[in-house]
Structure 1
Amino acid sequence: MTIPSAGSPFGRALCAMITPLDASGALDLDGAQKLAAHLVDEGCDGLVLSGTTGESPTTRDDEKSVLIRAVRDAVGGRATIVAGVGTADTEHTVRLAREAGQAGADGLLVVAPYYSKPPQDAVEAHFREIADRGGLPVMLYDIPGRTGTRIEPETMMRLADHERIVAVKDCAYDLLGSAKVIAATGLAYYAGCEEWILPLYAVGGAGFVSTVANVAPRQLRSLLDAYDAGDTVRARAVHHQVLPLVERMMADGLPGTVTAKAVLTELGLPAGPVRKPLRPADPERVRGLMAAYDAAVGG
């Protein structure tokens, strides 16, 4: 595997990959391998499996491990694999972390413990124990809108001293807080919300972990490439071009899992149904999604 730079420990352009299912709702491992290879061919240098977009709440532990093995076989060393292992239970998370490593993952995506709303000292202890016992580098996942618990910037700064805690998937919508942590630590910050890819990259972010990258990986990768080449005008133009697709997929009332699978299905790529309680997009929504997709990738 090509070793990512210290500033981008898992690569720069990471797709939060959907989990393809067959018509019966079972894992479609052939489809997962085909989609993973396609995403890497289109510019992704990392894949996040079993995150929110990968339907982690409704996939079983054994399915998560089988998925990692299948995708590793498909992409080999062409991309890093980061496994979503976060749960509300520290021991369960540690067990998933170890199983992910055995299956071939390169790193762990660990969300803040949800629902129980632990205080910051408990949040910190949770992450330290997983980093101590999980055996792989950790990407913290800060998404208080879903978990109900923020990983406060001060907590991030303390956690940065752990050798295995190396990155953050940032969905906190707090550019000031994120910029402070980036300036004060070596943590690699990945934008988890597509509208923040360019702003966060401009203040020292490492790249993105994106749901929209399931359907527009080349466009999002080109934004980073343009910025790295010093062509900030081009980077801004790409940012503006993809925003309507981002809005349709991520901020129009349906979860990103649903919208990503809808677009992938229309494109003839592996996707399949979503698991309940999620429901598929209706035909009118699909038409709107495809119009936004055509505008984003055709300009």
Structure 2
Amino acid sequence: MSTERPFGRALCAMITPFTASGELDLDATRVHAAHLVAEGCDGLVLNGTTGESPTTSDAEKAALIEAVRAAVGPGPSIVAGVGTSDTRHTAELARQAEKAGADGLLVVTPYYSRPPQAAVEAHFLKVAEATELPVMLYDIPGRTGTRIEPATMLRLAAHPRIVAVKDCAYDLLGSSKVIARTSLAYYSGCEELNLPLYAVGGAGFVSTVANVAPRQMRAVLDAFDRGDTGEAARLNALTLPLAELMMAAGLPGTVTAKALLGDYVREPLQPADLETVDGLRAAYEDLVQSNT
């Protein structure tokens, strides 16, 4: 069982800021990244789905990593999303991310093609061999159509550069078994499971909600680490209304996070409507007030 946290505990799945005309906004990127670190994020995950990676070019992905590295300095972890449905392209993005200054790679299961487990395993191993960077596997079958089965995870854990998992499988039993039998650091990718997964040996979280409430999301883990599990549960409960609206109310987390931050999305995503924005702002204000 792992006690390692290779990328820290509190990681934000960071949005990618755009201008009103749809261009990459590197100035806003630097400001947002620095703010997240100042508010308690140990690391930032760039170019993930929350970062609208399906709509950013390879060159934009590299520019984001370089801009954030310059903004936050060498301390905080930068984990670069490089996952695609194409193993060769994923390996190319991994090498690009390493050159741009990333500390680790987030590699999602190849999506849509639904490869069998042997092909999933081969994909991850080839990407892990492409660079010297540590790898966080991303298990999100609801989006990709394919699970990284626990048995596959156990085999992948033997590779020295496969060190972590972003867990969106909604299988606490399966995750707990892998945590108990390997050194993989499990990061919750689903806000409602941040505390439960942490309690069974998880390493922390990769949170979209942390874009708008980084201090409040981290406070749950801080309380748990102090041994105050009751306070951790109380603080966790306070985050749930906002997390539910942002992540489970029918809109992508990117859209809801940007609605609160006043940023722009790229098509095919569309901005949230006024009623949704008002509801999000009310939930956010409630969370902020309850933590003061």
Decide which of 7, 11, 14 is 1:14's aligned counterpart: 11
Is the contact made by 2:12 and 2:206 (CA closer than 8 Å) also made in structure 1?
Answer: yes
Alignment correspondent of 2:115: 118
Letter in 1 for 2:276: R
Does 2:207 align with 1:183? no
State the 1:6 CA deviation.
Answer: 6.1
Letter in 2 for 1:184: R
Alignment correspondent of 1:138: 135
For the residues of structure 1 that align with 2:260 and 2:25, how far apart are their CA atoms?
17
Alignment correspondent of 1:268: none
**1:128-184 deviations in Å (ceiling 9; x for gaps):** 000011331000000000000000000000000000000000000000000000000
Does 2:274 align with 1:283? yes
Please give the secondary structure, in 1, of the residue aligned with 2:66: helix
Q: TM-score, normalised by structure 1?
A: 0.96
- For these two proteins, the number of residue pairs brought into alignment is 289
**1:210-260 deviations in Å (ceiling 9; x for gaps):** 000000000011100000000101100111001000000000111000000
Alignment correspondent of 2:283: 292
Letter in 2 for 1:104: G
For the residues of structure 1 that align with 2:226 and 2:40, how far apart are their CA atoms?
16
Does 2:30 align with 1:33? yes
Identity %: 72
Q: TM-score, normalised by structure 2?
A: 0.98
State the 1:70 CA deviation.
Answer: 0.3
Alignment correspondent of 1:174: 171
Alignment correspondent of 1:269: none
Does 2:50 align with 1:53? yes
Letter in 2 for 1:175: L
Alignment correspondent of 1:248: 245
Moved over 3 A (4+): none
Does 2:261 align with 1:274? no
Letter in 2 for 1:279: Q
Alignment correspondent of 2:145: 148
**1:108-144 deviations in Å (ceiling 9; x for gaps):** 0000000101000000000000001133100000000
Please give the secondary structure, in 2, of the residue aligned with 1:252: coil
Alignment correspondent of 2:69: 72
State the 1:77 CA deviation.
Answer: 1.8
Unaligned segments of structure 1, at least 5 residues:
266-271
Matches within 5 A, 1:184-203: 184-203=181-200
Does 2:161 align with 1:164? yes
State the 1:263 CA deviation.
Answer: 0.6
Please give the secondary structure, in 2, of the residue aligned with 1:134: coil
Alignment correspondent of 2:222: 225
**1:34-75 deviations in Å (ceiling 9; x for gaps):** 000000000001000010100000000100000000000000
Does 2:235 align with 1:238? yes
Letter in 2 for 1:74: A
For the residues of structure 1 that align with 2:89 and 2:264, how far apart are their CA atoms?
27
Letter in 2 for 1:207: G
**1:95-115 deviations in Å (ceiling 9; x for gaps):** 000000000000000000001
Alignment correspondent of 1:264: 261
For the residues of structure 1 that align with 2:130 and 2:204, how far apart are their CA atoms?
27
State the 1:273 CA deviation.
Answer: 1.0
For the residues of structure 2 that align with 1:295 and 1:152, how far apart are their CA atoms?
39
